[in-house]
Structures are given as C-alpha cells and as structure tokens.
Amino acid sequence: MKAVDVVTTALGNTMRSKARTFLTVIAIFIGAFTLTLTSGLGVGINSYIDRLVQGFGDQQQLYVQKTSSQQSGNANEPQAYDPEKGADKQGQFGMSLLSEKDIEQIGNIDGVESVEPVVAVSPSYLEGENGDQFQVQLGYPSDVNSYEYAAGEAPGHDKDEITIPTTWADSLGYDKPEDAVGGKVKIAVSNVTGEEKTFEATISGVTEIMLSNQGAQPTPSSAFNDRLYDYQQEGLPEGAQTDGYAMAVADVPDLGKQSEVKKSLTEDGMLGMTVEDQIGTIRGIINAVTWILNGFALIALLAAAFGIVNTLLMSVQERTREIGLMKALGMSPGKIFGLFSSEAVLIGLLGSVIGVGVGVVVGTVANALLTGEGGALSNVAGLSLYGIAPLQLVGIVLLIMLIAFIAGTLPAARAARKDPIEALRYE
C-alpha cells in the first residue's frame, strides 16, 4: 500500500463513525480556536506597544530624573544631613528636582551628545477663541515630535505654538481637527505674587490620544513653555530664583553606551530610563497574561488528545477482524501503525485548521468592532487588539498535529501488534 493509499484509507476510516469523529474534532477545535485568539492577542498588543515605543520617544533618548537621597537606606529612618551635598530641591508632589549643576553633569557624561532640561508649568486655565475656559495640565515639549497627529504638525521649537488633543477640538469650537490648526488659544499663568497674565499661542496640530495617554494634554513648544515658566517664577526674592527641573532629556546616539550612561547617572544620584524601560513592565504583563491564556488552551488540547486516544482505541476494537484480514493479505505492522497514526493526524489537522480559521476570523472582526469607528476603544489611536502572524498560525497547526500523532501512537501500536489469526477469529 502506497503512502497516498494509506492517507486516503485513513480519511475514509475517520468518516466511518461521523458522530465520534465530530466530537473529537470539536475538542481539538476549541483548543486551536483558543490558542489562535490568545496568541493573536499577544501579537496585536505587542505590535501596538512596539509602535508606542517608536512613537513615544527617540530610542536614543534617556529621560533623566533626580533620585532623592531620602529614598536610599531605610525610608522609615532619618537620614544624616551632608552639608557638602545640601538638601534635595523639591518640586511638586515632593519630587526631587534637577539643578543646573546636575544638567551640566549629565552633559559631561561620555556618550551624551546633548541634554535638554524640562521645566514644569502649572497654568490657571486655557481659553479658546470662543471664550470658553478649561482647566489644563500641559504636556512636556520634548514629546511633541513623537505624537501622532490627526491634523497639523508639531509646534516649532522657537515659536509660540501649542498642540491640542482631538478631544479638545470640539470643546474649543472646531467642527473637525483640521479646522483647529491655525486657531488661537490663551494660557493663563499666575506668578509667585498671585498676579495672573495670559499668553497667546497658535494651534499647530491636533494630537491623537494613545493608550498610554500620550498626546492627551495640550503641549506647548519649548519657547512658549519657557515663556510661561519664566513668568510663573516672577516675584521670587532676588537669589531665590529656582533653577530646578522636573526632568531632562539626554541624547545618547550610540545605543551601546546607554548602559554605561545609566550607570554614571546612578553614581551621580540620578535615574535614566529609555522608553523601552518605562513600557517594558507593560509588555511583561501582557506576555505573562498571554502565556497563562495559552496554558488554558493547551489544557484543552490535552483533553482533546485523550479524546483521540479513546476514539482510535474504540476504532481498533471495532476493526479487529479487518486488521487481521489486512495482515493476512500481507500488510506489514509498520503500514498498519502508519494507517492508524494517519487517522489521528487527520483528525488533528481537521480540528486545528477549522479552529485556526475561525479564530482568525473572530479575532479580526472583534478587533475591527472594538477599535474601528464607533467602537468601545476607537478613541485610542493606533490600537490593535489582534494581530496575525502567519508563521505562528502554521506553528499552532503543526503543534496540534504533533499532539494528535503522539496521542494516536498507543492505539496504532496496539493495532500493529495484533495477531492475525486471533484477529480473524474475533467476534
């Protein structure tokens, strides 16, 4: 019997008991379907995170913050005061601020090409051309080039320009994002003495809001942000002008030196993190959840494997005389083993192909419904909940066929060992 004849015969044999075969295929289908959905979920979200990392900031940038000396040692014990170092400068919420000396130290680290300090501005309100006023928290100017824009572009570095999120366009009186570009807004800021002043800026672009909340705040250009900050500091006694910065952005063009730069920053009492460092935790959680869900799918496949064993053992029992006849006609034990193994593999192939196919369709449709226009997650720009990785899908089919083959070895071996005389006498 040729290999083609073995496969053809195996296919016919699987259809002898349609109900039993159907139930076994259903069990495999459930495992394949679940595995396809969960693995696609991991692919989709990880691809979104990759885009988020690429868009959130330049890969060569390190975001540097001050590490408070009070955070070292036991936080519950008082820390000795060092007159040489002085006390950490504190910003809002007790955050330690970077000084001009810190900025200079960062710039002198080998591998750092440039460093840009970031100052925090706390405006009173933002006013649109329609006269409506809104509470506002400004984003950092260093992020403007990494935003995704629904309309317009990033603000010019040295211009009085600002971006607004898509969710703000309607509230400011614009019918669509494109209409907002070129519009004017006013930012009100109070100085140390309580005097309030408004500064006008041009809307250069309208930003999409990402899952990480990136682009969710109006963000000024560097020049405009500095103007607001300078006025915010007016009124301080002479010599008390603060030189603290909430954060600094350091450019490290040679990615291989980033680890050394981070180490140098740590030694200087600062913390440097890339975007990948900041988002890496999220990626780890997503991967962990995906593997847990895949584990449930594999449990379903294990249960399906026992179904294959049961189905083929019953088939061997029912076809005992047929096996004896095949052996009497000269069919070798190896061919009989191959025949029953082929039946197991065909059941696995049938269930896996249907499960993977339905999983891809359901995942794609669900992704379109949830992230498309009008969907529950349509306001999250660029979000993808489900992704298709062809090699991964092929791997799922091959894995299930392997599991099916292993499950079929016991019944196949039992059939191959049958004594032809005893088999022919079987009633």
The proportion of the chain whose per-residue pLDDT surpasses 70, expressed as a percent, equals 80
List pLDDT tens digits, range 192-242. Answer: 888 999 999 999 999 988 766 777 889 999 899 989 988 988 876 665 555
* Confidence band of 296 (pLDDT split at 50, 70, 90): confident
H helix runs in 110-195, sequence order:
166-169, 177-180
Q: What is the per-residue burial (b if ≥16 Cβ within 10 Å, else e) of 161-186?
A: bbbbbbebbeebebeebeebbebebb
* pLDDT, position 1: 54
Mean pLDDT confidence for 273-280: 71
* Confidence band of 77 (pLDDT split at 50, 70, 90): very low
Structure tokens belonging to residue 231:
């006025």
- DSSP letters, 281-348, are HHHHHHHHHHHHHHHHHHHHHHHHHHHHHHHHHHHHHHTHHHHHHHHHTT--HHHHHHHHHHHHHHHH
* For residue 263, pLDDT beyond 50: yes
The proportion of the chain whose per-residue pLDDT surpasses 90, expressed as a percent, equals 18
Structure tokens belonging to residue 423:
């088999």
Q: How far apart are CA 65 and CA 88, in angstroms?
A: 12
Sign of CA dihedral 29, 31, 34, 39: negative
Contact assessment for residue 366 and residue 37, using Cβ atoms and an 8 Å cutoff: no
Mean pLDDT confidence for 177-191: 93
* Confidence band of 126 (pLDDT split at 50, 70, 90): very high
CA 6 and chain centroid, separation: 46
Q: How far apart are CA 81 and CA 162, in angstroms?
A: 43
Cβ count within 10 A of residue 288 = 10
Which strand (E) or helix (H) includes residue 249?
strand 247-251
More confident residue, 3 or 405: 405
Q: How far apart are CA 425 and CA 427, in angstroms?
A: 6
Mean pLDDT confidence for 180-190: 93
* For residue 189, pLDDT beyond 70: yes
Residue (of 404, 311, 388, 308) closest to 356 by Cα position: 388
Burial class of residue 126 in the structure, from the number of CB atoms within 10 Å of its CB (0-12 exposed, 13-18 middle, 19+ buried): buried
Residue (of 219, 251, 245) closest to 57 by Cα position: 251
* For residue 74, pLDDT beyond 60: no
Alpha-carbon distances of 161 from 117, 140, 185, 199, 203, rounded to whole Å: 19, 13, 9, 11, 6
Mean pLDDT confidence for 93-117: 80
Mean pLDDT of the chain: 79
More confident residue, 399 or 8: 399
Residue (of 413, 406, 423) closest to 327 by Cα position: 423
* pLDDT, position 180: 93
Mean pLDDT confidence for 95-110: 83
Residue (of 230, 279, 380, 232) closest to 53 by Cα position: 279
Q: How far apart are CA 403 and CA 349, in angstroms?
A: 10
Cβ count within 10 A of residue 298 = 15
* For residue 91, pLDDT beyond 80: no
CA 405 and chain centroid, separation: 35
Cβ count within 10 A of residue 131 = 8
Tracing tokens 């053809």 back to the chain, one arrives at 8
The domains located in the chain, with CATH, are 3-55+280-425 (no CATH), 60-118+244-273 (3.30.70), 120-236 (2.40.70)
